[in-house]
Amino acid sequence: MAEEKKINAIIATDCGSTTTKVILITRTPEGNYHLAGRGEAPTTVEAPFDDVTIGVINAVTELQEITGRKLVENGKIILGGDPNEGADLYLSTSSAGGGLQMAVIGVVASLSAESAQRAALGAGAIIIDSFTYDDGRTEQDRVERIRHIRPDMVLFSGGTEGGTKKHLVEMAETLLMADPKPRFGELFKVPVIFAGNSEALPLVTDVLGKKVDLIKVNNVRPTMEEEDLNDAGQAIHRLFLEHVMAQAPGYEKLMSWVSVPIMPTPSAFGQCIAAVGEKEKINVLAADIGGATTDVFSSVNGRFTRTVSANYGMSYNICNVVKEAGFENILRWLPFESSINELWDMALNKMIRPTTIPQTARELLIEQAIVREALRLSFAHHMRLAGGLKGIVRQRSVAEAFEQKGAAVINSGDMDLIIGSGGALSHAPRRRQTALIMLDAFEPEGITELDVDSIFMLPHLGVLSSVEPDIALEVLHRDCLIPIATSLSLKGQMQDKEVCAELTINTPEGETNYKLYPGRLYRFTETAEKLFSFTIWPDREVDAGEGPGVEYEKKARFSAVGLVIDTRGRPLVLPEDPKERIRKNRSWARAIGAFDLEEES
């Protein structure tokens, strides 16, 4: 498709809360697509500029200087015309101003409100609060909170078809008393998407009257056994463009420039993950760990799920991670003795100075221990939200109209590919450290590829995948994802065995045989050829990915770290004795080459 259109250049921007990032993708004479350059500039959605396009033009101008290709003229991006300048497509995502911020109202937290949360998250929203009839708050508390948060829109759910109406009316009265105001456009009404019992709609409309802009969509929980998120997801995305983006400073001008509608950054990120899973027929897990939040995305057996852990981040919310994980769970990952005071001091310093980076190896190891727990907690949250409503029909949405059916139950053993994104993973001093963090946090089973997003291109490629999926996937594998390791993780009864498996690796240099012992990490480094094959013979009570005692041969690839074999078992249990635990952590770090611990105290 791309060849017929002869797309020579594509510009994609991501307008973040602080930085606007831009990439240029160009077509080579051979017909391949690659990343030609990247630029960035401060986002200008707030005072004194109040025009997001200023930051966009500044970022594209920097890209023009880097690449030597003329991209800007008279304060606008050049589109069409000369194949040697400008671009054929201009695409954009946005999380400026905090992204799409929503409140969710439901009746029962574990039913309608949970379904509404899934719909909002799948459409790329950040849920700033959820209100339910059974949340334990007083009506006054709910009113004051709704007034304070100023959501971009509200998703109102509750009641199966033919079910409760009384509770929906009472929650509508709470919303009426709160009289919420939008963040942007003071003269505009807050959009309220009603996705509850349709029989209650006339009553809810009578209560809310003309105070809000009420939009009716299909019930997200029409029966106790069924969930329908697609209609609500489409409405969220449409209202994001019509109400939120249209009122944000400069976005009306930006929307007139783009070739396709602007996507929320998380929605575009998820679109890319879903495209990889669907196109390559693999199960994918991705985690983007930031300063304030950790987003987790999965595409498993064709089903997409996104969750946001809003309190787990590595700067602004680092203390929340420490509090939720507990000191002992963080200290258990350290290859040296430490204390609660040292850990707490480091976390507080990071919270009040969020742009600082570790200055010593000791500080780095403590920070990476916290990263493990942030990822572990976020993944556990993701599995809980993705694993509900088993055995029923479910429809979901990614951006617009991405529909799937069937129940999704997520676990580590499902994953063929795990992608890490965010500074703590993408910019670790050594790729081996990233590999060890991902092994510890996600505990993959069987054969799993571990990759990192090199320069946070997934949102750009996600919006591109909505119009040119082949180009997006080509650039994704060529320039975005860096393979860091092939993981082979064993589980089962291993600790009481002398040898838990035998392994043969076949490379162009020949065949090598190994005995694998329990409780260890093994790393086999790159050979002259990146492709290799191996055969593993696990003990009859040990599962290497195909079932207990099942041997198999597989082709795989070497990568930045190599082939990593994990015989520590699943679930991963660390020794209770502190000295033994430190010894184990040091031996695992040495085995994978994460740190030169012999030289460190």
Look at residues 96, 114, 142 and tell me which one is the last residue of a structural domain: 96
The answer to whether residue 390 scores a pLDDT higher than 60 is no
Asked if 11 and 104 sit in the same domain, the reply is no
Residue 425 falls within a domain, yes or no? yes
Say whether both 494 and 559 belong to one domain.
yes
* Sign, CA torsion 425/426/427/432: positive
| 430 and 476 assigned to the same domain | yes
- Reported as a single tens digit per residue, the pLDDT across 20-58 is 999 999 999 999 999 999 999 998 988 888 899 999 999
**Ranges 342-351, 418-427, 492-501: which has the least confidence:** 492-501
Do both 468 and 372 map to the same domain?
yes
| Cβ atoms of residues 148 and 209 within 8 Å | no
In this structure, the answer to whether residues 244 and 387 fall within a common structural domain is: no
Structure tokens at 115: 């379904």
Q: Which of 96, 113, 141 is the last residue of a domain?
A: 96
Whether the predicted pLDDT of 15 surpasses 50: yes
Q: Please name the residue ranges forming H helices in 466-577.
A: 469-475
Percentage of the chain with pLDDT > 90? 63
Mean pLDDT of 411-430: 91
Residues 373 and 465 grouped into a single domain: yes
From 65, 96, 127, the end of a domain falls on 96
For residue 245, give the CATH number of its domain: 3.40.50.2300
Single out the residue of 257, 337, 255, 237 nearest to residue 73, CA to CA. Answer: 257
Mean pLDDT of the chain: 88
Answer yes or no: do 49 and 70 share one domain. Answer: yes
Domain assignment of residue 23, yes or no: yes
With beta carbons less than 8 A apart as the criterion, state whether 86 and 75 touch.
Answer: no
Assess if residue 243 is contained within a domain: yes
| Residue 402's pLDDT band (cuts 50, 70, 90) | very low
* Domain-embedded: residue 261: no
Instruction: Answer yes or no: is 330 within a domain.
Output: yes
- Answer positive or negative: Cα dihedral of 588, 593, 595, 596: positive
How far out from the chain centre does Cα 128 lie? 17
Q: Would you call 560 exposed, middle or buried from its count of C-beta atoms within 10 A (0-12, 13-18, 19+)?
A: middle
Q: In the chain, how many domains are there?
A: 3
In 443-570, alpha helices (H): 458-465, 469-475
Per-residue confidence (pLDDT) for residue 392, from 0 to 100:
43
Decide if 260 is inside a domain: no
Verdict on whether the full-model pTM lies above 0.85: no
Structural domain harbouring 552:
266-599
- Are 506 and 361 in a shared domain? yes
Tell which wins on pLDDT, 400 or 204.
204
Structural domain contains residue 430: yes
pLDDT 10s digits, 105-146:
999 888 888 889 888 888 878 888 999 988 999 999 999 999
CATH no. for residue 57? 3.30.420.40
Examine the domain organization and report whether 124 and 245 are in the same domain. Answer: yes
Q: What is the pLDDT of residue 302?
A: 84
Residues 181 and 148 in one domain: yes
My answer on whether 83 and 175 are in the same domain is no
225 and 86 in one domain? no
Would residue 244 count as lying in a domain? yes
